[in-house]
Amino acid sequence: MSRKPIIAGNWKMFKTRREAADLANALAASVGTYDRVEVVLCPPYTALETVGQAIRGTKISLGAQNCHWADQGAYTGEVSAGMLVDVGCKYVIIGHSERRQYFAETDASVNKKAQAAYRHGLIPIICVGETLEERQSGKTESVVTAQVQGCLKDLPPDKVAASIIAYEPVWAIGTGQTATKEQAQEVHALIRKLVAEMFSPEVAEKIRIQYGGSVKPQNIRELMDQPDIDGALVGGASLEADSFTAIVRFE
Ligand code: PGA
């Protein structure tokens, strides 16, 4: 088994183009040739082209934070998967909990967006995770199971094998409260088991599963030591070159 670790920075709604260029240039210098980990930067739409230029010729990849499920059309304010490929994206985050919470994203829309990504050769980073209330009432397993089954329903196995799932417990996002390595590993193992049941053991063996939620230089190592944790989706700590570099170079 050899799943290459993948660490992505989710910049959310932060960074003007100038700020984005500064950060991307700093990361191009600090981790641009590092190849033990696949590095992905997901700036806001307005900075995609700028960041793409800054990382050109490096090993760093570009990702977006959302896309629409249609190839084109009268969807004011939306951006299609094809447009993201056109601007240089390789990845797209889909179903982030903030989009589920504030923009009515559902497992069904995530499923349609994953299909749109595949049609255009974009690799989705599909996010799942339970809320604090769900964890406290013992529903983590059933919530994550329903999300994985709903998001991945009827998708082509070979595409799923090349995709990324991000397990992000909602209570750990931006709160400074990381899941323990045991809590994270338990859910990652569940997700891999679900993928094996839905597709095949081979697909489950290949798919990379990131942990997200208050990942920092101080906790990345113990998370990455877990057998089913293949990377991280990093929010706050990806906004500074020093902290994101330390996370990427965790070894
Ligand atoms: P955080 O965000 O690292 O700031 O907790 C993670 C995410 O929302 O992807």
pLDDT one-digit tens code per residue, 229-242: 999 999 999 999 99
pLDDT at res. 169: 97
* Residue among 214, 239, 240 to mutate when testing ligand 1 (max atoms within 8 A of CB): 214
Structural domains of the chain in order of their starting residue, each with its CATH number: 6-248 (3.20.20.70)
pLDDT at res. 48: 98
CA-CA-CA-CA torsion sign (149, 102, 64, 87): positive
Q: How many other β-carbons are positioned within 10 Å of the β-carbon of residue 162?
A: 14
The one-letter code for the residue type at 236 is G
Distances (CA, A) of 97 to 10, 84, 111, 126, 129: 12, 21, 15, 10, 7
Task: Please state, rounded to an integer, the average pLDDT across all residues of the chain.
Answer: 97
Residue carrying structure tokens 């604090």: 132
Give the residue-averaged pLDDT of 196-212: 98
| Number of the ligand 1 atom closest to the C-alpha atom of 127 | 9
Share of the chain above pLDDT 70, in %: 100
Q: Which residues pair with 63 in a beta bridge?
A: 91
Q: Is the pLDDT of residue 2 over 90?
A: no
Nearest to 209 by CA among 175, 237, 186, 232: 232
| Ligand 1 center–CA 96 separation, angstroms | 10
pLDDT one-digit tens code per residue, 163-175: 999 999 999 998 9
pLDDT at res. 142: 98
What are residue 140's phi and psi, to 5 degrees?
-50, -50
Residues touching ligand 1 (Cβ under 6 Å) are 10, 168, 173-174, 212-215, 233-237
Distance CA 134, CA 155 (A): 27
* Residue among 99, 125, 209, 215 to mutate when testing ligand 1 (max atoms within 8 A of CB): 215
| Number of the ligand 1 atom closest to the C-alpha atom of 213 | 5
Q: Is the pLDDT of residue 184 over 80?
A: yes
The pTM of this model reads 0.98
Q: Is the pLDDT of residue 1 over 70?
A: no
